[in-house]
A and B are shown apart, each in its own frame.
Chain A
Amino acid sequence: MNLDPVIHAPVRLQIVSLLAAANEAEFSFVRDTLEISDSVLSKQAAALENAGYVHIRKGHVGKRPRTWLKLTDQGRTAFGAYVTTLQQIVGQRLTTP
């Protein structure tokens, strides 16, 4: 069973895992939660965007520029398949109350 190489990298896995729980998350929230630098997040988010898994939206709140990240439908589908594959390999299910 092959794991999606786009997702199966430490930082990208964290980014996609976080975005899976949200409709949309601000760049700074993702950066702070994952405790990574702006440049690392920018690079990995761009890689996910190039793969069609993440949509990056730039906007303003008042005069402040803000960047928002969200999983695309393709990204959400890929993440679901990725988790299913992991579970099959490991032979366990994630706890879902």
Chain B
Amino acid sequence: MDQKVPSPAEALAEIERTQRAAYSRRRIPIWYVPAVVGAITLLGVGTELHGPARGVTIATGGLAMAAAVYGLSRSMRVRWKARAWTLAAGAEFGAWAVSIGVVMSLTGLIIGAIHFQPVVQRVAIGVAAAVYSVATLRWIERRVIARTAGKVIR
């Protein structure tokens, strides 16, 4: 490895390049959002049930949510500083999170119009949200990375 001491200009460029390289490796595990959506769906299905099945389903949903968060914390290799985000990147990621809610609402309206059972409706909403999140997660990550271009943390 070349150990030549960099010139000041090279050092400045290296700082920016290194942080950009690190940002480009910032990835949410692909299973995470569907897992959270699945847990929320289980909680929703539980509220539609009665008797022992209600408590069991809600408890399972709660455990699934806890497992997803625990799994994420185990798989994360970096704890980023909040200021590693730019306002534009945060806004775009927030808009994407809201879009998941929009997909769930639209699916609910469409399924509701067909008069399926409530449990079937909730499962369909969950599946639609999970598929949408998986299909768009890497795309939104690329956009977020692009929105942090030029951001340098001291």
Interface residues of A (CB under 8 A from B): 3, 8-11, 13-14, 17-18, 20-26, 28-29, 32-34, 36, 40, 61-62, 76, 79-80, 83, 86-87, 89-90, 92, 94-97
Q: A10 to B79, Cβ gap below 8 A?
A: no
Q: B6 to A13, Cβ gap below 8 A?
A: yes
**Which A residue sits closest to B75, measured CB to CB?**
A61
Q: A25 to B78, Cβ gap below 8 A?
A: yes
Bound-state Cα–Cα, A87 to B74, Å: 38
How many A-B contacts at CB < 8 Å in the complex?
Answer: 105
Q: A94 to B12, Cβ gap below 8 A?
A: yes
Q: How far is the CB of B10 from chain A (nearest CB, A)?
A: 9
Q: How many residues of B contact A (CB 8 A)?
A: 34
Bound-state Cα–Cα, A11 to B1, Å: 9
A-B contact pairs, 7 of them (CB 8 A): A3-B11, A13-B11, A22-B22, A24-B78, A25-B78, A89-B8, A90-B12
Instruction: Give the residues in chain A near B5, CB-CB below 8 Å.
Output: 8-10
Bound-state Cα–Cα, A8 to B22, Å: 20
Q: B152 to A95, Cβ gap below 8 A?
A: yes
Instruction: Give the residues in chain A near B86, CB-CB below 8 Å.
Output: 97
Q: A21 to B11, Cβ gap below 8 A?
A: no
Q: A21 to B77, Cβ gap below 8 A?
A: no
Contacts A33-B25, A95-B152; is A10 near B12 (CB within 8 Å)? no
Q: A94 to B16, Cβ gap below 8 A?
A: yes
Bound-state Cα–Cα, A22 to B84, Å: 8
Q: A13 to B79, Cβ gap below 8 A?
A: no
Instruction: Give the residues in chain B near A95, CB-CB below 8 Å.
Output: 16, 150-152
Q: How far is the CB of A52 from chain B (nearest CB, A)?
A: 18
Q: A18 to B19, Cβ gap below 8 A?
A: yes
Instruction: Give the residues in chain B near A79, CB-CB below 8 Å.
Output: 154
With A22-B22, A33-B25 known, 7 other A-B pairs at CB within 8 A are: A3-B11, A10-B14, A13-B14, A13-B15, A17-B18, A83-B152, A83-B154
Flag whether B23 is at the interface (Cβ < 8 A).
yes
Contacts A25-B77, A29-B25, A76-B154; is A94 near B1 (CB within 8 Å)? no
Q: How far is the CB of A87 from chain B (nearest CB, A)?
A: 7
